[in-house]
């Protein structure tokens, strides 16, 4: 396990100043003109940020020396400073704690597999959904992240992969490519809707306008904000929707996922069906399996029944062994219980697998590293 030292920023509050990644290509051109530069400078800056993955003015040799620093200062202000990076799984998992300009903390987890590299990113500092088994939810919401703060998490990880700072499946650090993005870090993405959608567009637009990652390789997770799910469907994107359901019955879900008091299981799954029909993509159902809470055989059977009713074949269940947080009363279901739960969901006609879990030794459950400071 590798741990990098703590770094501290000057304290400030609120969203960061305007950044290149907050802007569309047309808005970038207008911004550089405001600064007295020719419009094509915007494309040069975009190429450095999105293609070359750099914010270093000294590397921008195609821009006149007298303009570089001012353009970077105005359109690439510092967003995230690495506070601590921890590696495990023979170097193929890397969790990073970031400090924003106002000292808020967020987390990312980069996981390298033989066939892909997936980055789990945050959309908020903290989370306001108050799910009792989630470390982030118990910490509360500090603020939304800006579009650029979300995008910069991805740019930084893409640079880590390119520069060979992550180990491959043999444990040897080698260059690679960031291929998949999941909005499953800190925060509820659909509670920061406008900025998250803008970030998805920056992440997926072809270079130099964006990072060029396929929309089909991006997953947006939600605890079930039904109206926002429908709104996301109407964006006509090809991202995958993941719904953190955690139980098929309203009685328990009202407790485990308090937003269920506003939008019931039926309402959430009806919105998910609308998303599946509109996008043509299967919906992922996330189910954190918690010992003696939601791991009963009858709940597995009910889960399959409810999902078949609402989503038919357009669904897949990811069972997630709970990554317990220190001092929490919540614990993972025993492996035999987990295996029986998965078997029953599959027997009910719904594909169900156990998600690969990584990083328990580096506090990889969302919010744990930030809680430790």
Residues marked as catalytic: 107, 366
What sign has the CA pseudo-torsion 223, 289, 258, 372? negative
φ/ψ of residue 321, rounded to 5? -60, 125
Peptide bond into 43 cis (omega under 30): no
Residue 125 tokens read as 């500092």
Q: What is the CA angle 281-285-290, rounded to 5?
A: 165
Quick one: how far is CA 252 from the chain centroid?
26
Is the Cβ–Cβ distance between 205 and 212 less than 8 Å? yes
Cα 173 versus chain centre, distance: 24
DSSP codes, 177-239: ---EEEE-SSS-GGGGHHHHHHHHHHHHSPTTTS----GGGEEEEES--HHHHHHHHTTT--P
b/e per residue 201-235 (b: at least 16 CB within 10 A): bbbbbeebbbbebebebbbbbbbbbbebbeebbee
- Specify the pairing of strand 124-126 against strand 117-120: unpaired
Task: Answer yes or no: are the C-beta atoms of 235 and 252 closer than 8 Å.
Answer: no
In contact, 83 and 97? CB cutoff 8 Å: yes
Contact 118, 349 (CB under 8 A): no
Q: What are the E-state strand segments in 49-179? A: 80-88, 93-100, 105-112, 117-120, 124-126, 141-144
């Amino acid at each position: 396990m590798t741990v990098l030292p703590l770094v501290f920023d000057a304290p400030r509050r609120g969203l960061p100043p305007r950044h290149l990644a907050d802007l569309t290509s047309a808005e970038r051109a207008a911004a550089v003109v405001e600064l007295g530069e020719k419009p094509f400078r915007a494309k040069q800056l975009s190429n450095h940020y999105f293609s070359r993955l750099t914010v270093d003015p000294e590397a921008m040799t195609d821009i006149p020396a007298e303009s570089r620093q001012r353009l970077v200062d105005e359109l690439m202000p510092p967003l995230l400073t690495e506070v601590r990076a921890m590696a495990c799984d023979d170097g193929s998992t890397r969790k990073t704690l970031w400090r924003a300009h106002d000292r808020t903390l967020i987390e990312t987890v980069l996981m390298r597999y033989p066939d892909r590299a997936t980055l789990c990113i945050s959309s908020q500092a903290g989370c306001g959904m108050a799910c009792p088994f989630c470390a982030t939810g118990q910490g509360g919401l500090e603020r939304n992240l800006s579009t650029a703060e979300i995008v910069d998490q991805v740019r930084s990880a893409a640079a880590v992969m390119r520069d060979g700072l992550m180990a491959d499946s043999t444990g040897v650090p080698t260059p690679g490519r960031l291929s998949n993005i999941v909005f499953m870090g800190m925060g509820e993405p659909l509670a920061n809707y406008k900025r998250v959608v803008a970030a998805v567009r920056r992440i997926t637009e072809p270079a130099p306008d964006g990072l060029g990652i396929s929309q089909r390789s991006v997953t947006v997770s939600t605890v079930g904000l039904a109206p926002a799910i429908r709104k996301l469907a109407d964006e006509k994107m090809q991202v995958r929707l993941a719904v953190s359901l955690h139980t098929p019955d309203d009685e328990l879900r009202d407790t485990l996922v308090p937003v269920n008091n506003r939008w019931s299981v039926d309402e959430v799954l009806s919105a998910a069906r609308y998303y599946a029909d509109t996008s043509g993509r299967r919906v992922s159902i996330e189910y954190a399996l918690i010992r003696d809470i939601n791991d009963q055989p009858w709940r597995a059977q009910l889960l399959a029944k409810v999902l078949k009713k609402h989503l038919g074949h357009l669904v897949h269940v990811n069972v997630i062994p709970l990554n317990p947080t220190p001092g929490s009363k919540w614990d993972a279901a025993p492996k035999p219980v987990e295996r029986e739960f998965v078997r029953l969901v599959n027997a009910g006609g719904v594909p169900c697998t156990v998600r690969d879990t990584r990083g328990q030794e580096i506090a990889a459950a969302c919010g744990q590293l930030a809680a430790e400071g």
